[in-house]
């Protein structure tokens, strides 16, 4: 069953098809108003969300379908101790497609292995958020007119900001992308994204701490909030929370063609005075998110009519290594196999298939 767990599950051609469908939906919404009649979307939100959940719900309603679900873990059986796999199997009896947000990294992947309907990852802990990336890609495509030959600055909490991890993975598929990583030392991009995405795709990147220094060369500035809920230490959050504030003054340093994106919600990292600048694209981005989710639902439901057997992951170790990331779904899910995939045989580097945590084993 085809699901969307990681943005790299889709090829560049498929991403382009989704963007083309989304543009057609935005131009001719009436053509799609009955496309999902009698179909149900289940939204399983074990973590708070406004935009993502409501845009999924609006997307399904505008396709003529209906929506069931919950918006907090406390109102689901997870509060009674139900596993993600059991929830996924049970929801498969009631809905045609599900979107899941979960605080544990890898939870939607676990759901996709148990479910008999397509599963969409609507954000898993600090790991990834592929449908936000669909919104981001369509926004860059529409606003900048291209998805290659771009200098993209990612600013803020690059450590816990899952939207940045997924966006960088997606941009790794396009030509001549330069990534400028702007963050405090403590909130730098995780090493697995640097090694597995930036280095493996031969992408040019630079790490900086000053937004003012970075801004003049950017085509896209992707602002993010400092992710309070993912910090282990409240003091550290307090110390870092005001690291970056994009003001109208700083916008004067940027190109006329630069676009400001933000997955939202904003806390204080973009001054409201920037909102009236035509380069501020974040509310248009939120609208693009709905169109891309409509295109995604259509695609996955279409493919579900003729499910292909999924190949078992190759080069894996099953229950030989234990993932010690406390935020990984394998730390809580009952009887879940610990599976590690070899990503660098010469150096003996393995990564957990749920959360991508690294393990090194002696070679030879
Ligand atoms: C993002 C998320 O949930 O990761 N929000 C969203 O989905 N639009 C970004 C954030 O919460 O900061």
Q: Determine, yes or no, domain membership for 309.
A: no
- Residues 202 and 251 occupy one common structural domain: yes
pLDDT computed for residue 26 by the predictor: 98
SS (H, E, C) the chain: CCCECCHHHCCHHHHHHHHHHHHHHHHCHHHHCCCCCCCEEEEEECCCCCHHHHHHHHHHHHCCCEEEEECCHHHCHHHHCCCHHHHHHHHHCCCCEEEEEECCECHHHHHHHHCCCCEEEEEECCCECHHHHHHHHHHHHHHHCCCCCEEEEEECCCCCCHHHHHHHHHHCCCCCEEEEEECCHHHCCCHHHHHHHHHCCCCEEEEECCHHHHHHHCCEEEECCCCHHHCCCHHHHHHHCCCCCECHHHHCCCCCCCEEECCCCCCCCECHHHHHCCCECHHHHHHHHHHHHHHHHHHHHHHHCCCCCCCCCCCEEECCCCCCCCCEHHHCCCCCCCEEEEEEHHHCEEEECCCCCEEECCCC
Q: Determine, yes or no, domain membership for 1.
A: no
Q: Determine, yes or no, domain membership for 34.
A: yes
- Residues 164 and 199 occupy one common structural domain: yes
Q: Which residues of the chain have pLDDT under 50?
A: none
- Residues 88 and 195 occupy one common structural domain: no
- Residues 137 and 256 occupy one common structural domain: yes
Span 313-358, pLDDT tens digits: 888 999 999 999 999 999 999 899 999 999 999 999 999 999 999 9
- Residues 146 and 56 occupy one common structural domain: no
In testing the pocket of ligand 1, which one of 51, 108, 132 has its CB within 8 Å of the most ligand atoms? 132
- Residues 134 and 272 occupy one common structural domain: yes
- Residues 269 and 155 occupy one common structural domain: yes
pLDDT computed for residue 314 by the predictor: 85
Is the CB of 52 inside a 6 Å radius of any atom of ligand 1? yes
Looking up residue 234, the CATH number of its domain turns out to be 3.40.50.1370
pLDDT computed for residue 75 by the predictor: 72
pLDDT computed for residue 104 by the predictor: 96
Is the CB of 123 inside a 6 Å radius of any atom of ligand 1? yes
- Residues 154 and 275 occupy one common structural domain: yes
Q: Determine, yes or no, domain membership for 310.
A: no
The domain containing residue 353 runs over which residues?
316-360
pLDDT computed for residue 307 by the predictor: 85
- Residues 187 and 135 occupy one common structural domain: yes
Is the CB of 162 inside a 6 Å radius of any atom of ligand 1? yes
- Residues 135 and 270 occupy one common structural domain: yes
Q: What is the pTM of this model?
A: 0.95
Total of domains in the chain: 3
Span 250-290, pLDDT tens digits: 999 999 999 999 999 999 999 999 999 999 999 999 999 99
């Amino acid at each position: 069953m085809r699901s969307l767990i990681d943005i790299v599950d889709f090829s560049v051609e498929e991403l382009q098809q989704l963007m083309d469908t989304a543009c057609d939906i935005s131009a001719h919404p009436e053509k799609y108003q009955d496309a999902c009649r009698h179909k149900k979307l289940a939204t399983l939100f074990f973590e708070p969300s406004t935009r993502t959940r409501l845009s999924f719900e609006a997307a399904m309603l505008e396709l003529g379908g209906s929506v069931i679900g919950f918006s907090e873990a406390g109102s689901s059986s997870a509060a009674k101790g139900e596993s993600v796999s059991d929830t996924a199997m049970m929801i498969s009896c009631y809905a045609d497609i599900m979107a899941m947000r979960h605080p544990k990294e890898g939870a939607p992947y676990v759901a996709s292995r148990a479910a008999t309907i397509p599963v969409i990852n609507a954000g898993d802990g600090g790991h990834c958020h592929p449908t936000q990336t669909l919104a981001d890609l369509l926004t860059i495509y529409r606003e900048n007119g291209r998805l290659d030959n771009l200098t993209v600055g990612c600013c803020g909490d690059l450590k816990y900001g899952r939207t940045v991890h997924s966006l960088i993975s997606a941009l790794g598929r396009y030509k001549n992308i330069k990534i400028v990583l702007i963050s405090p030392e403590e909130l730098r991009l995780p090493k697995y994204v640097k090694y597995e995405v930036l280095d493996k795709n031969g992408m040019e990147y630079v790490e900086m701490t000053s937004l003012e220094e970075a801004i003049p060369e950017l085509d896209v500035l992707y602002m993010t909030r400092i992710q309070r809920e993912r910090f282990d230490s409240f003091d550290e959050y307090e110390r870092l929370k005001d690291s970056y504030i994009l003001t109208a003054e700083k916008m004067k340093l940027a190109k006329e063609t630069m676009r400001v994106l933000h997955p939202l919600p904003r806390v204080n990292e973009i001054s409201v005075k920037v909102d009236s600048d035509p380069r501020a694209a974040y509310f248009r981005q939120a609208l693009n998110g709905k169109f891309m989710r409509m295109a995604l639902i259509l695609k996955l439901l279409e493919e579900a009519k003729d499910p292909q057997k999924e190949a078992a992951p190759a080069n894996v170790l099953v229950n030989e290594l234990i993932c010690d990331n406390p935020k990984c779904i394998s730390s809580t899910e009952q009887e879940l196999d610990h599976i590690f995939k070899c990503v660098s045989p010469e150096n003996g580097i393995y990564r957990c298939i749920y959360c991508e945590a690294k393990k090194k084993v002696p070679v030879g």
